[in-house]
Structure formats: structure tokens, C-alpha cells
């Protein structure tokens, strides 16, 4: 174990194969982020409310066994391709590739053995005013059907106003890449878990992607105006989650990609804002990605037991996953997921916290 006031590193548990999983805790200005090497996962994020009371605002497990036994994606780094690929197949330069289907007929979050199921290495840590940990992993050519040897890193860094995540990847063969973090947020805190349907949400997007059965986009972006998907001004999440709309029915609530305004690839810009009146916590997502997947926890069914022995039920958390659009490898009209040798994939997002 190594430690300091702003950073410490220790064992989180031992895998069935004998491998050690570590946890790194970062602390700055009243916020604490805990990251485990299994799945390069955000295991906890402790944030003060308007009264200065600190609580964990992300779902997860108290021990390693929970992450290994149940694949819930809590806080994990998702890759090689976040979200869905239709039929688990795609082509690059007329060569066809196949990713094992693990979501009906489709491949979801990298297939059955995605980055969230792998142990990452700790490449670097740093303390001080902006403590950080950088984790790395090499995905071999052909892993889960994806071409190219992919060298990947994700850096978690506490900054003045919240938590910054920076992803990078390089390949030796043309491939597709779409990395994100899959944290499940509840701004009321996870000590006494309550529904997020009372959270207020706004999304900086005029369009979203309607989906077919199976959650693959059908057609192109559709205007949010006049639908339950219009979060251009803030709405309480539960206000329209049972609206009599086909897209709500297909997602069992919200589980769709919003097409963010502004150019992607530059400085992170505001993508979404979440407010919880009870605690006063406010979370803003800033990202350089073209899309964000808003998921309202529709498939949490009480079978997963999380921190403090609490079961997770429908609507107990929400996800805001900054990323490329779903099924982009099969959609030349969507922002490209292609990465070629000599190029660097980059993704930077910030979860910024205040209180009101």
C-alpha cells in the first residue's frame, strides 16, 4: 500500500486466476474518485451536497467479487466499441469482421469480453492539486474479432471542478474505436438509494437517433421538438418517461443517442446538465464527442446487489455516455469510428460538479 493525502494505492482483491486488482483513490477539494484496475473502472465518486455532506454518487460494488460475477458495466471503461454494432459485423476496406453477439443479434460494448472484463495496468500516478492515475492496456489483434493491435490508455484526473477522463488509442492496423465511461449516477447519493426520476435533465441537442427493435438506429437523426426526447430545456426525467411514444416503448424508457450541437474533436463543450433538488448537487457533462447516450436505468431489475448491500432497481441511476453514434462502423453517414496506423484516437470528457 502507498498513500498520501491526495492519492493512495492498494489492493482491491484477488481474481480467480490469482491476479491482483488494485484501487487508486484520488482526493482534491472535497471530491474523491476511486478507480480499480479491473475494467479501468470508476468504483466510487464522493461529492458534497449543498450542506457539505459527502456521498457516493455512482453505483458499483464494495468488493471485486461483485464486478467479476455480474457484468453490469458499473463505472467501467467500455471498448473496443461502446454501444451496439448491428449483427456484430462490419467492414473495413471491403474486409468483413465479426464480433460475437452478446445483445440479441448485436454486439454490445465490445462483445462478451470487452475492455470492462480485463485488468488494466497502472502506468502512472501523480498527486498534488490535480491528482491522477493513467491506466493502460494492449488489446491484441483479433481480440473479440476486432482488427489491429490497439494500445489504449485512460487517465482519470481530479481538477478544480470535477473529474476529467482522457482516452487515447493507437493501432498497427486499420480498425474501429469508440471508448467511453459507463458510470451509473444518482446525485441523491447511494447511501440511501432512491429513484433518479426526480432528477432534472437538459441535453444540448436538437436531434436524437430513433432506434429499431434491438436498439440499432433506424434512419438518421430526428428532431427532438414535440417529443419526449426534447431536453433542450430542463425537464424532470420522470415527467415523460411513460409517454405514449413508440421510441419510449422500444427503450423501456430512455436508452438513446442524442446528437450534440457543435463540432466534435475540439475543447470539451457542454453536453448535458443534471440537477437534484433534494441534495442540491448539479453535474455538468462536457465532452469533445459528437454524441451522448442517455440511459435511464431501465434494465436494472433488482438482481444486482451493490454497495451497502442495496439492490439496484429500474430507475435507480442514469448514465450519460459520451461517444460516437451507435453502429457507426455500418453507417458511413455517421461520424467515423475508423482509426488508421499513425493516427491517435482521443476522447476527453469532464464531469463537473457544483451545488445549488
pLDDT at position 137 over 70: yes
What's the predicted TM-score (pTM) here? 0.97
Give residue 334's Cα distance to chain centre.
20
The arithmetic mean of pLDDT across residues 28-57, rounded, is: 97
**Secondary structure (H, E, C), 77-131:** EECCECCEEHHHEEEECCEEEECCCCECCEEECCCCCCHHHCECEEEEEECCCCC
Place of cell 457507426: 328
Q: Which of 61, 182, 199, 276 is catalytic?
A: 182
Residues 260, 334: Cα–Cα separation, whole Å: 13
The three cell numbers of residue 176 are 474501429
Residues 157, 8: Cα–Cα separation, whole Å: 14
Going by their DSSP bridges, the two strands 345-355 and 54-56 should be labelled as unpaired
pLDDT at position 1 over 60: no
Instruction: Work out the mean pLDDT of the chain and round it to a whole number.
Output: 96
The arithmetic mean of pLDDT across residues 122-142, rounded, is: 97
Give residue 279's Cα distance to chain centre.
23
Residue (of 189, 200, 298) closest to 242 by Cα position = 298
pLDDT in tens, 284-339: 999 999 999 999 999 999 888 999 999 999 999 999 999 999 999 999 999 999 99
The three cell numbers of residue 329 are 462502423
The arithmetic mean of pLDDT across residues 157-173, rounded, is: 96
pLDDT at position 34 over 80: yes
Domain that holds residue 26: 2-355
User: Residue 4: its pLDDT value, please?
Assistant: 75
How many residues are given for the chain?
356
User: Residue 5: its pLDDT value, please?
Assistant: 85
Residues 228, 226: Cα–Cα separation, whole Å: 7
Q: Which of 22, 199, 321, 347 is catalytic?
A: 321
- In percent, how much of the chain has pLDDT > 90? 94
User: Residue 161: its pLDDT value, please?
Assistant: 86
The arithmetic mean of pLDDT across residues 6-18, rounded, is: 97
Going by their DSSP bridges, the two strands 301-305 and 291-295 should be labelled as unpaired
pLDDT at position 3 over 70: no
- In percent, how much of the chain has pLDDT > 70? 99
The three cell numbers of residue 290 are 459528437
Residues 259, 270: Cα–Cα separation, whole Å: 13
- What CATH number corresponds to the domain at position 53? 2.70.98.10
Residues 84, 155: Cα–Cα separation, whole Å: 24
182 as an active site residue: the answer is yes
pLDDT at position 10 over 80: yes
pLDDT in tens, 61-120: 999 999 999 999 999 999 999 999 999 999 999 999 999 999 999 999 999 999 999 999
Going by their DSSP bridges, the two strands 311-313 and 345-355 should be labelled as unpaired
User: Residue 2: its pLDDT value, please?
Assistant: 62
User: Residue 64: its pLDDT value, please?
Assistant: 98
**Secondary structure (H, E, C), 220-255:** CCEECCCCCCCCCCCEEHHHCCCCCCHHHHHHCCCE
The three cell numbers of residue 81 are 466499441
Tally of structural domains, the chain: 1
Amino acid at each position: 500500500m502507498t498513500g498520501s493525502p491526495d492519492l493512495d494505492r492498494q489492493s482491491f482483491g484477488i481474481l480467480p486466476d490469482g491476479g491482483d486488482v488494485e484501487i487508486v483513490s484520488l482526493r482534491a477539494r472535497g471530491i474523491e474518485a476511486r478507480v480499480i484496475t479491473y475494467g479501468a473502472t470508476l468504483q466510487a465518486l464522493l461529492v458534497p451536497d449543498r450542506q457539505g455532506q459527502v456521498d457516493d454518487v455512482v453505483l458499483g460494488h464494495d468488493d471485486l467479487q461483485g464486478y467479476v460475477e455480474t457484468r453490469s458495466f458499473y463505472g467501467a471503461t467500455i471498448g473496443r466499441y461502446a454501444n451496439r454494432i448491428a449483427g456484430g459485423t462490419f467492414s473495413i476496406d471491403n474486409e468483413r469482421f465479426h464480433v460475437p453477439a452478446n445483445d440479441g443479434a448485436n454486439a454490445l460494448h465490445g462483445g462478451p469480453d470487452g475492455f470492462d472484463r480485463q485488468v488494466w495496468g497502472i502506468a502512472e500516478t501523480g498527486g498534488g492539486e490535480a491528482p491522477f492515475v493513467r491506466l493502460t492496456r494492449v488489446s491484441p489483434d483479433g481480440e473479440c474479432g476486432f482488427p489491429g493491435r490497439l494500445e489504449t490508455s485512460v487517465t482519470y484526473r481530479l481538477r478544480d471542478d470535477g473529474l476529467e477522463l482522457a482516452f487515447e488509442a493507437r493501432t498497427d492496423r486499420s480498425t474501429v474505436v469508440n471508448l467511453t465511461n459507463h458510470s451509473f449516477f444518482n446525485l441523491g447519493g447511494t447511501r440511501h438509494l432512491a429513484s433518479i426520476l426526480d432528477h432534472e435533465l437538459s441535453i444540448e441537442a436538437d436531434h436524437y437517433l430513433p432506434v429499431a427493435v434491438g436498439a440499432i438506429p433506424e434512419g438518421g437523426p430526428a428532431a427532438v421538438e414535440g417529443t419526449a426526447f426534447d431536453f433542450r430545456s430542463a425537464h424532470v426525467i420522470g415527467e415523460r418517461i411513460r409517454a405514449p411514444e413508440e421510441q419510449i416503448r422500444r427503450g423501456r424508457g430512455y436508452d438513446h443517442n442524442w446528437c450534440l450541437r457543435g463540432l466534435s474533436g475540439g475543447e470539451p463543450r457542454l453536453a448535458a446538465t443534471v440537477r437534484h433538488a433534494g441534495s442540491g448537487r448539479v453535474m455538468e457533462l462536457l465532452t469533445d464527442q459528437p454524441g451522448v447516450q442517455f440511459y435511464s436505468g431501465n434494465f436494472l431489475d433488482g438482481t444486482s446487489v451493490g454497495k451497502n448491500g442495496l439492490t439496484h432497481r429500474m430507475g435507480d441511476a442514469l448514465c450519460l455516455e459520451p461517444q460516437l453514434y451507435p453502429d457507426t462502423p455500418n453507417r458511413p453517414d455517421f461520424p467515423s469510428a475508423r482509426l488508421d496506423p499513425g493516427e491517435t484516437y482521443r476522447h476527453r470528457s469532464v464531469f463537473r460538479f457544483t451545488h445549488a
